[in-house]
Structure 1
Amino acid sequence: MDRAQRERLTSDSLRFPLDGGPGVVGRCRDLTRQVLDEWYGLSGREGSALKADVLLLVSEVVTNSCLHGGKPVELRLGRTPGRLWVQVTDTSPVRPRAHGPHRAARSSGHGLHLLQRLSDGWGWTPRGTGKAVWFVVSVPE
């Protein structure tokens, strides 16, 4: 991972500035995958499933930021014993909300439902002229 791509806030917290341009969802997934490997080295069936879930959630949060949040400007990853915290900041102050009840047959509109199902918790926080959407998942200690 290129040093210019990340800023180490603490030994357990990283910040990645984003340009919101083409490919930002894939870049965020790649950055998250590299950090998961560095911090946890997830392997085996259980580790692979956890990694897949986290990467799916990152994709959903960043995609929602691109579609509904103006543009993503920052990805932050943090860890505490047994917990991984992911936050995406964007330029829109509008609160994330479901657009009607979840319907599995729809081709889109699953992001918040997936956050509720796969994370241990999620939420959003106003940030100046934008907001931060975050989620937390349990990880091996």
Structure 2
Amino acid sequence: MPLPDRGQTRRLALAGSEGAVQLCRDFSRRALLSWHWLPAVDEEQQAVSEDVLLMVSELVTNACLHAPGGPRELRLHWDGDRLRVEVADASPVPPRLRSNADPAIPGGHGLRVVDRLARAWGSLPEGGGKQVWLEVPSPLDRHFPR
């Protein structure tokens, strides 16, 4: 099996919320395929890849719901050790975890999912809006020794 490409950034410019979640999931899946995260060689790699797609969906959905004009851009940067996902939008308001969210009420749980699955996450001001980011360790270390 060839070594996966490392140190790459993929960018997807977005114009509005319509179809953005599926577009971003498809874009992310193609990136994971090119970086050999998919098809997965074991259950752990499959789980990490599915978690990434879920978290991309959650960040993009939040931008669709809470930022004027929806998400502006999705960026994926993989350096061989970690994947960083960034979603830029026009709202300067940083995301926050809901406290005491009722699990029986739909909505408001996306950041809780990100908080549990990502190694780290946060937001930074960017161009009058913000960038919400998360990081996930690479699942490939066992399969591609350095």
TM class, shorter-chain normalised? 0.7 to 0.9
Amino acid at match of 1:32: S
* Paired position in structure 2 for 1:5: none
- Quick check: 1:31 aligned with 2:7? no
Following superposition, the deviation at residue 85 of structure 1 comes to 0.5
Amino acid at match of 1:101: N
Q: Distance in 2 between matches of 1:113 and 1:41?
A: 24
1:75-86 alignment runs, 5 A limit? 75-86=74-85
* 5+ residue gaps, structure 1: 1-9
More helix by share: 1
Following superposition, the deviation at residue 135 of structure 1 comes to 0.2
* Paired position in structure 2 for 1:122: 121
4+ long deviations beyond 4 Å = none
Q: Is the 8 A contact 1:78 1:86 kept in 2?
A: yes
TM-score, normalised to structure 1, is 0.87
* Paired position in structure 2 for 1:20: 16
- Structure index of larger Rg: 2
Amino acid at match of 2:91: S
TM-score, normalised to structure 2, is 0.84
Q: Distance in 1 between matches of 2:20 and 2:89?
A: 12
* 5+ residue gaps, structure 2: 1-5, 142-146
* Paired position in structure 1 for 2:102: 103
